[in-house]
Amino acid sequence: MSRANDTPDAGSPADEAVLLVGHGSRRERSNEQVRSLAAALEGRLGLPVDAGFLELAEPSIPDAIAGLAPAASTVTVVHLSLFAASHVKTDVPLAVRRAREAHPGLSLYNGAHLGIHPAIVDLLDDRAVAVERALDVERGEESVAVVLCARGSSDPDANGDAHKLARLLYEGRDFAAVETAFVGVTEPRLDGALHRVAKRRPDAVVVLPYMLGDGVLTERVRETTADFDASYPYAAAAAGDPLGTDERLLDALADRWREARTGSVEMSCDTCKYKVDLDGFEDDRGGARAMLRALTHEGAHADRTDVDDEPHAHDAPEKHVAVCTNRTCAGDGSPAVLERLRQAARDSDACDARITRSSCLGRCGDGPMVAVYPDGVWYGGVDPADADRIVSSHLDRDRIVSDIVDGIL
């Protein structure tokens, strides 16, 4: 495992650089986390390290490589992805392949995702210890169960690695149990996993969000854990912090850089849905089909002229807000309400909503009309000032703005 003050191998070129690739977020603080890790990795490796993003933030991978190319003969791409799903398997390799074509004199190496690494297991154990102290329980003397909660993926390989990580956290430690759960996309979901753990009647339940940043998903984990804690008085429960910028991430990133530079990158091809037949995933093939998917996906990003004004996300949002912009509502000022809602949502750290135009909602004369789903709450006579309240109260905190409710379905 790489440690502090590691230096590149003696055979490394003097003008080598590293590109740390993060996903990118609508929340700038998440993007700053990637940049902070890039700066820390630069200090660890003694090499220039820049940050690049798949989407939602600048610079893009092609732009970041183009920025490094004039001063470097070798660039190594290091992934800040926790598991290997489509971004790692198709999107980044496509970007690297195109960069090789655009910069024929540049040597480009593509590393592996963070994956399963002993430094990360150690970091998760420390996150659990912090929660145990907050709950005033002592592992070994009292029964402590852990739920490791990952984001969830449509790639079974990535979801399988989450289960493996949970098992490694369990082995050799005095936990009563370590279960795996996901925020979305796949099962088991966090709420169900917590209720199953409750049947063991532990003294405490520690929920570990397996995510890099402290954003919408980690907040969802905290809220679900708090609801569980209130429902089961016999088991104290709390959620820990995400991985953040802990120095142990640098251990894993430095090892992934070294593997890429020595040509020893290993991907889990034996269980990759793009390489082998897996039941239920027979249509998800690699090769040309995977490349076509990556090209289409990349095109969706390239069409955006402004990352902040045209957000793109893979997950369905928590809420969908429809604003009627048909003739009557438009005449009453709904376009201004629509823009105010979108701006307030962009400014919010807690809001996870898609806000779109709608045709007539059948309430002509009572508008501007705003409908919030899946809650089925319709607001009427909404003005721009009300838009701020809808975001700060309903979308941020699930509290209905009662004085402008037109109806609840």
pLDDT tens digit sequence for 44-72: 999 999 999 998 889 999 999 999 999 99
Q: Which range of residues forms the domain containing residue 388?
A: 319-408
**Residues 30 and 57 reside in one and the same domain:** yes
Handedness of CA 6, 7, 8, 11 (dihedral sign): negative
Instruction: Quickly state the pLDDT bin for 298 (edges 50, 70, 90).
Output: low
> Which one of 211, 239, 267 terminates a domain?
239
Alpha carbon 236 to its chain centroid, in Å, reads: 27
Q: What is the pLDDT of residue 360?
A: 87
Band of the pLDDT at 4, cuts 50, 70, 90? very low
Q: Do 130 and 182 lie in a common domain?
A: yes
- Summarised one tens digit per residue, pLDDT across range 235-289 is 999 999 999 999 999 999 999 999 998 877 766 665 676 666 666 666 665 655 5
Query: pLDDT band at residue 301, thresholds of 50, 70 and 90?
Result: low
Say if pTM beats, i.e. exceeds, 0.75.
no
In this structure, are 108 and 122 located in the same domain? no
Residue 117 is predicted with a pLDDT of: 93
Residue 308: pLDDT over 70: no
Tokens 């849905």 locate to 273
Tell me what pLDDT residue 215 has. Answer: 80
| Residues 16-34: tens digit of each pLDDT | 999 999 998 878 888 999 9
Mean pLDDT of 341-345: 91
Total domains, the chain: 3
Residue 110 pLDDT > 50, yes or no? yes
pLDDT band at 10 (very low <50, low <70, confident <90, very high): very low
pLDDT at 268: 64
Give pLDDT, residue 370.
95
- Report residue 227's pLDDT band, with 50, 70 and 90 as the boundaries: very high
| Beta strand segments in 349-391, E | 353-358, 370-373, 377-379
Please tell me the predicted confidence (pLDDT) of residue 26. 79
- Within this chain, do residues 45 and 142 fall inside the same structural domain, yes or no? no
Q: Out of 261, 284, 310, pick the residue that ends a domain.
A: 310
Residue 113 confidence class, pLDDT cut points 50, 70, 90: very high
Q: Are residues 173 and 257 in the same domain?
A: no
Is the same domain home to 21 and 107?
yes
Query: Dihedrals φ, ψ of 123, to 5°?
Result: -65, -45
Residue where one domain finishes, among candidates 310, 337, 352: 310
Which range has the worst mean pLDDT, 110-119, 207-216, 265-274? 265-274
Return the closest-CA partner of residue 154 out of 274, 256, 269, 72. Answer: 274
Asked whether 227 and 205 are in contact (CB, 8 A), the reply is: no
Helix (H) / strand (E) element for 110: namely strand 107-110
Q: Are 409 and 378 in contact (CB under 8 A)?
A: yes
CA distance 180 to 356: 35
My answer on whether 218 and 289 are in the same domain is no
- Are both 296 and 352 inside the same structural domain? no
- 213/361 Cα distance (integer angstroms): 38
CATH number for the domain including 353? Answer: 3.40.30.10
- Closest by Cα among 316, 352, 342 to 223: 352
CATH number, domain containing residue 139:
3.40.50.1400
Averaged pLDDT score across all residues of the chain: 87
16 and 83 belong to one structural domain:
yes
Burial environment of residue 140 by CB neighbours within 10 A (0 to 12, 13 to 18, 19 or more): exposed
- pLDDT-derived band of residue 81, with 50, 70 and 90 as boundaries? very high
Percent of the chain at pLDDT > 70 equals 84
Q: Which residue has the higher pLDDT, 364 or 207?
A: 207
Q: Is the confidence at residue 73, as pLDDT, over 80?
A: yes
Q: Express the helix, strand and coil content of the chain in percent, nearest 5 each.
A: 40, 20, 40
| Mean pLDDT computed over 278-304 | 59
343 and 397 together in one domain: yes
